[in-house]
Amino acid sequence: WQPLDGPPWPGPIYVYQNLFSFTPGNELFWGDRRSAAFKIGAPFTQWEYPHLKEKLASVPKEHLTIPGAGILIFNNSIIAPDSSLVGELNGSKQYLDTVSFYNNIILTADVRQLRGRMGKGGTFYFKYFNNLAWWKIGLSEGLPELAQQSKDTPAEILPGWEQNDFRPKQFLPAIPVPGAPQQFQYIGALQAPDEQIAPRAGILEERP
């Protein structure tokens, strides 16, 4: 979510039942730079654009409301141990109402890319409900509700995570997601051991 042309801000946004896997291509593409599963924020720079100054004159850049149910990220399974969950486009200086994570399986390096805290916005302002998470380098301080949803080892959540096996150790019950277009029985993307989600999605091409 990276709007660049001012309001009306896009929304609601629903992200659900996706599989995020770590592959050799990730490392080849990103190198030493840390990527993120989600990039979220309305860049402050647009408040300086000449063609947007009048449109944004009365809009506080530090606190925005996303329409409808906001950004609902629910029932996804993420294996990205060298990436963060969220890339905050404005660090923790921007407050975005109604950004919520429900019923996700998350195996990443940390919840955010930046270790230093500059404010109480960004990921510190998002809401987290009934997720199962593990953090390779540790969870940033100041997120007690997410700490309660975290495990000590990735194998407690996904025993075959190193092979990008998304089948959970145990299918645990999901909770209802208010305003979501679909509800699921279990945490994570997979709802059965043999379920396949878009095994050949998108355009497949061979490159030299």
**Tens-digit pLDDT profile for residues 85-120:** 998 888 788 899 999 999 999 999 988 876 655 668
Q: What average pLDDT score do residues 30-37 get?
A: 70
Residues near 51 by Cβ (< 8 Å), separated by ≥ 6? none
Q: Phi and psi dihedrals of 147, rounded to 5?
A: -60, -35
110 vs 74, which has greater pLDDT? 74
175 within domain boundaries: no
Q: What average pLDDT score do residues 68-92 get?
A: 91
Question: Looking at residue 182, what is its pLDDT?
Answer: 94
78 within domain boundaries: yes
**Residue 28 pLDDT more than 80?**
no
Residue 123 Cα distances to 52, 64, 127, angstroms: 27, 14, 8
Angle in degrees, CA 125, 146, 82, rounded to 5: 95
Residues near 201 by Cβ (< 8 Å), separated by ≥ 6? none
**Residue 129 pLDDT more than 60?**
yes
Q: What average pLDDT score do residues 119-146 get?
A: 88
Question: Domain span at residue 81?
Answer: 13-163
**Residue 46 pLDDT more than 80?**
yes
Question: Looking at residue 73, what is its pLDDT?
Answer: 97
126 within domain boundaries: yes
**Residue 24 pLDDT more than 90?**
no
**Residue 32 pLDDT more than 60?**
no
184 within domain boundaries: no
89 within domain boundaries: yes
What is the domain count for the chain?
Answer: 1
**Residue 204 pLDDT more than 70?**
no
Mean pLDDT is highest, among 35-44, 87-96, 153-162, for 153-162
Question: Looking at residue 132, what is its pLDDT?
Answer: 97
206 within domain boundaries: no
182 within domain boundaries: no
Q: Phi and psi dihedrals of 173, rounded to 5?
A: -65, 140
Q: Give the count of alpha carbons within 13 A of 129, CB side only.
A: 15
134 within domain boundaries: yes
